[in-house]
Amino acid sequence: MVHQRTCIAEAMSMDLSPKRPVKAYSSDGGSYYDWSPADLPMLHTASIGAAKLSLFAGGLALPSYSDSAKVAYVLQGKGTCGLLLPEATAEKLIPVKEGDALALPFGVVTWWHNASSPDLVILFLGDTSKGHTPGRFTNMQLTGSTGIFTGFSTEFVARAWDLPQDAAATLVSTQPGAGIVKIKDGHKMPDPSDKDREGMVLNCLEAPLDVDIKNGGRVVVLNTQNLPLVKEVGLGADLVRIDAHSMCSPGFSCDSAYQVTYIVRGSGRVQVVGIDGKRVLETRAEGGCLFIVPRFFVVSKIADDTGMEWFSIITTPNPIFSHLAGRTSVWKAISPAVLEASFNTTPEMESLFRSKRLDSEIFFAPTN
């Protein structure tokens, strides 16, 4: 309980404003960006990592594994994800496209390839509580100038792969690129298989909607039923799209979860309220920005005339939310007399208050 109060107090004093990522490294094949805990302190507090991979035509993100479980979300483009689960004897060659979400548990080895234009852009959000650096992913490259085999002596490499020492030395040193490279013209990469998508991918733009409110908004939730590996990752996730000038009901996670939100496109106003009724964030969030809502804090959003779309992870696989407005609001279930006393208001005002939003849930369309 003391630790929880300390975390809440820390969050009250932190800069919660949305931030854009910084380029970590790049090549002629693409770029890797991440959000630093130094710029977004809530990443450290919540032990959350956030990064973005952008691959140009012909770009290849070299095989690697991570110190953290993640959810990957394809923001744009199409390509291939090579994925090798722990103890598996063959890789999965997964065709990916915009809207795809993949759960990447610990120990998964992945590579990503973009065979053609436009750019393939993937967002990664995950739990770094067991990682080397809380609030930041550490990716271990298997090959390239920063690959783990460059650290072993020629003797060890030669013996591990039963190679002559000169061949081992050549093999380890032939890839000068680091992290991301560009495939040589004429080099044939393996073809992805639609069959390998089964049980591994959920396309959030094509999946059945969990919430669909006319002129309000739509939600697709990733769960253990539609994406089984979510259970192993230990994170919940959703894609939310609200229409122009629509509002997302004020609400909070009531199971001690952080909400990590990446604005995919559009823009809107965001307010977050913490303890003692203090507004800790009032800002305008735009596409490409990331922000984190501390545990138990209340958040609400109103879209601009472009509408607003965001992808979020919640630091529990089965999040529970309470909403403070709408048909499912906690106020609809509380006794009238208690509501009157709580607001110190009249029965007439209580009746007016309770009579509103009887047919709206979570999202509120703009009034004409």
Reply yes or no on whether the pLDDT at 318 is more than 70.
no
- Residue (of 229, 29, 202, 172) closest to 111 by Cα position: 29
Residue type, 58: G
Per-residue pLDDT tens digits for 75-129: 999 999 999 999 888 999 999 999 999 999 999 999 999 999 799 999 999 999 9
Q: Please state, for a pLDDT cut of 70, what percent of the chain lies above it.
A: 90
Contact present, 135 and 48 (Cβ < 8 Å): yes
Which of the four pLDDT bands, split at 50, 70 and 90, describes residue 164?
very high
pLDDT at position 55:
98
Place of tokens 């004429």: 186
Reply yes or no on whether the pLDDT at 160 is more than 80.
yes
Place of tokens 């809502």: 293
Reply yes or no on whether the pLDDT at 13 is more than 70.
no
231 or 84, higher pLDDT: 84
Q: What gap in Å lies between CA 32 and CA 27, rounded to an integer?
A: 9
Reply yes or no on whether the pLDDT at 311 is more than 70.
yes
Angle at 124 between CA 18 and CA 138, to 5 degrees: 100
pLDDT at position 2:
47
pLDDT at position 320:
64
Contact present, 197 and 81 (Cβ < 8 Å): no
Q: What gap in Å lies between CA 325 and CA 319, rounded to an integer?
A: 19
Strand (E) or helix (H) holding 157: helix 154-161
Q: What gap in Å lies between CA 261 and CA 227, rounded to an integer?
A: 20
- For residue 312, give both structure tokens: 């979020």
Average pLDDT, the chain: 90
- For residue 250, give both structure tokens: 């004020």
Contact present, 144 and 175 (Cβ < 8 Å): yes
Per-residue pLDDT tens digits for 251-276: 877 666 888 999 999 999 999 999 88
pLDDT at position 297:
93
Reply yes or no on whether the pLDDT at 8 is more than 60.
no
| Cα R_g (the chain), whole angstroms | 23
3-state helix, strand, coil in the chain (%, to 5): 20, 40, 40
Query: In degrees to the nearest 10, what's the CA dihedral of 282, 285, 291, 295?
Result: 40
Residue type, 270: V
Contact present, 55 and 96 (Cβ < 8 Å): no
Cis peptide preceding 95, ω within 30 of 0 = no
Q: What gap in Å lies between CA 367 and CA 364, rounded to an integer?
A: 9
Per-residue pLDDT tens digits for 323-365: 667 666 777 778 888 888 888 888 888 888 877 766 667 888 8
Contact present, 70 and 124 (Cβ < 8 Å): yes
Which of the four pLDDT bands, split at 50, 70 and 90, describes residue 295?
confident
- For residue 201, give both structure tokens: 């991918």
Cβ burial 271-306 (10 Å sphere, 16+ → b, else e): ebbbeeeeebbeeebbbbbbbbbbbbbbbbbbbeee
Q: What are the C-alpha distances in Å from 330 to residues 80, 130, 224, 323, 335? A: 45, 36, 27, 7, 10
pLDDT at position 255:
66
Query: Is the full-model pTM beyond 0.75?
Result: yes
| Overall size of the chain counted in residues | 368
